[in-house]
């Protein structure tokens, strides 16, 4: 049995402000109602760009909410490029754009070259057997924390954050004493300027740059060590892999490390925490999945569709043209709202219903088709499947006890805290 969503209140699209962080941190039902209204009434809706300290205000962007339009744009990378900025609405200097965006913010032929090298080195299959060991250890630690705190834990801090962080740090060979810093700096980069997560809310750009420099410094030191003393980890593979006579530079490796932390750590973290919340809000679906391991594949895909951990990516038109009846000019920016496309009724039957057996499920939670489809999708799926199966088996008494504290960010559908308790611990 599924749970039907309540009818949304009318949406005033003229008053909608996509740069309002408080709106993004508010009830998801409000956002999804707005997305539905945009799909119906303004599938290409124009919005002003946010004002950020130290960054000139740009000309604005088109918000793309229909699945077909998003798919058409993603399928034409020569016409809608990523290299002018994929993870930032305002334009930023080219070197910073590529450094922080890595593959996400590159176009061919450079994108193809870097991706070939990274794909050859990035073989998460060798790590899959280690995922369960990480999950088992994290859940055991969560239970010990609960036992010391009268059953109380935080889903984000005690479960969702450490699992993908440890998997990626194990993969890269990051030393144990550096991992707390990796978590802290990656959180700043994905903070969206949330004042709770940065020291100076009036200067988020400086905090962002400092966090990136610290992560890059760590990775450059690690890469140098692996050149001198190779080990069985991804960093060694990245510094030694060669395709057509070319290798990655130390800066390219550092940039890819930041991408892994963003795409593989933060997004998987939020898929886990948002997934726990979704199952709490849909207990029938939780019971259904817990009782049937055969649902692991479809359930993971549905949770990714439902939570859409990455809300959007940007593309920029390289020349004048038209897409699905919408005329545009060279330089126009397009915000691909994956969270909206993932609930498009033209593609998904009953999109506002969580159905863990939904199949097929052509969601765009890992990006749409094209050269920028998520390189680590296979690993993320494995982490989610192992984590939720272990939660059912090892922490069946996990209960969400309060409202989530949501990240004030338009880019990441994040949760900072989610209070819970283990019912069997007293």
Name the residue ranges covered by the structural domains of the chain: 13-422
What CATH code would you report for 13-422? 1.10.630.10
Spatial distance between the Cα atoms of 342 and 39, rounded to a whole number of angstroms: 12
- Return the H-helix or E-strand segment holding 421: strand 419-422
Averages of pLDDT over runs of 10 residues in the chain (426 residues) are: 50 92 92 97 93 76 98 96 90 70 83 84 68 95 96 97 91 91 81 64 69 87 92 88 83 81 79 97 98 98 96 96 97 97 98 98 92 87 96 97 93 94 81
Q: Map 209-238 to HEC letters.
A: HHHHHHHHHHHHHHHHHHHHCCCCCHHHHH
Question: Degrees (nearest 5) of the Cα angle 422, 294, 289?
Answer: 30
Structure tokens at 253: 């490796």
Nearest CA to 114 out of 234, 220, 252 is that of: 252
In contact, 181 and 227? CB cutoff 8 Å? no
State the DSSP code for 246. Answer: B
Q: For position 372, what pLDDT does the model report?
A: 85
Q: What is the DSSP string of 142-173?
A: HHHHHHHTTTEEEHIIIIITHHHHHHHHHHHT
Run of H or E residues at 336: strand 333-337
| Token pair listed for 92 | 């930023």
Could you give the angle at the alpha carbon of 302 between the alpha carbons of 272 and 7, nearest 5°? 100
DSSP 414: -
Long-range contact set of residues 416-419: C-beta below 8 Å, sequence gap at least 24: 416/156, 416/194, 416/196, 416/197, 417/154, 417/156, 417/157, 418/154, 418/155, 418/156, 418/160, 418/273, 418/276, 418/277, 419/152, 419/154, 419/155
Distance between CA atoms of residues 257 and 263, nearest Å: 10
* Dihedrals phi, psi of 246, to nearest 5 degrees: -115, 145
The helix or strand, by DSSP H or E, that contains position 64, with its residue range, turns out to be strand 61-64
Under 8 Å between Cβ of 272 and 385: no
Which residues have CB under 8 Å from 274's CB, separation 6+?
303, 306, 307, 309, 413, 415
Per-residue model confidence (pLDDT) at position 271: 95
The residues that bridge with 336 in the sheet, in sequence order, are 64, 313
Q: What are phi and psi of 328, to 5 degrees?
A: -145, 165
Q: Rg of the chain's alpha carbons, rounded to an integer?
A: 21
């Amino acid at each position: 049995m599924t749970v039907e969503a309540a009818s949304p209140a009318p949406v005033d699209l003229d008053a909608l402000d996509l740069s309002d962080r408080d709106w993004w941190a508010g009830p998801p039902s409000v956002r999804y109602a707005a997305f539905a209204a945009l799909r119906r009434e303004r599938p290409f809706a124009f919005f002003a760009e946010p004002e950020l300290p130290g960054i000139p205000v740009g000309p604005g962007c088109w918000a793309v909410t229909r699945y077909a339009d998003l798919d058409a744009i993603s399928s034409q990378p020569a016409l809608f490029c990523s290299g002018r900025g994929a993870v930032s609405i305002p334009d930023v200097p080219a070197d910073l754009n590529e450094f922080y965006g890595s593959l996400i913010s590159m176009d061919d032929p450079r994108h193809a070259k870097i991706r070939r090298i990274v794909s050859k080195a990035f073989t998460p299959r060798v790590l899959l057997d280690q995922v369960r060991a990480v999950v088992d250890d994290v859940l055991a630690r969560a239970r010990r924390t609960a036992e010391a705190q009268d059953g109380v834990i935080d889903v984000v801090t005690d479960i969702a954050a450490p699992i993908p962080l440890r998997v990626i740090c194990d993969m890269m060979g990051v030393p144990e004493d550096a991992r707390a810093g990796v978590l802290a700096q990656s959180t700043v980069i994905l903070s969206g300027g949330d004042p709770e997560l940065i020291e100076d809310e009036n200067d988020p750009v400086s905090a962002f740059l400092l966090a990136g420099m610290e992560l890059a410094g760590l990775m450059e030191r690690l890469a140098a060590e692996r050149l001198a003393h190779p080990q069985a980890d991804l960093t060694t593979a990245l510094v030694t892999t060669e395709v057509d006579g070319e290798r990655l530079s130390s800066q390219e490796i550092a940039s890819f490390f930041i991408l892994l932390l963003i795409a593989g750590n933060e997004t998987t973290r939020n898929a886990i925490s948002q997934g726990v919340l979704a199952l709490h809000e849909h207990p029938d679906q939780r019971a259904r999945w817990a009782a049937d391991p055969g649902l692991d594949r479809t359930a993971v895909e549905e949770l990714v569709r439902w939570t859409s951990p990455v809300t959007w990516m940007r593309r920029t038109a390289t020349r004048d043209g038209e897409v699905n009846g919408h005329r545009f000019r060279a330089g126009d920016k397009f915000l691909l709202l994956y969270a909206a496309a993932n609930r498009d009724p033209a593609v998904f039957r009953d999109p506002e219903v969580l159905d863990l057996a939904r199949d097929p499920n052509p969601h765009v939670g890992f990006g749409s088709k094209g050269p920028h489809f998520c390189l680590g999708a296979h690993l993320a799926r494995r982490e989610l499947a192992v984590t939720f199966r272990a939660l059912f088996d090892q922490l069946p008494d996990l209960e969400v006890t309060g409202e989530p504290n949501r990240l004030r960010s338009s880019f990441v559908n994040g949760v900072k805290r989610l209070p819970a308790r283990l019912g069997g611990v007293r």
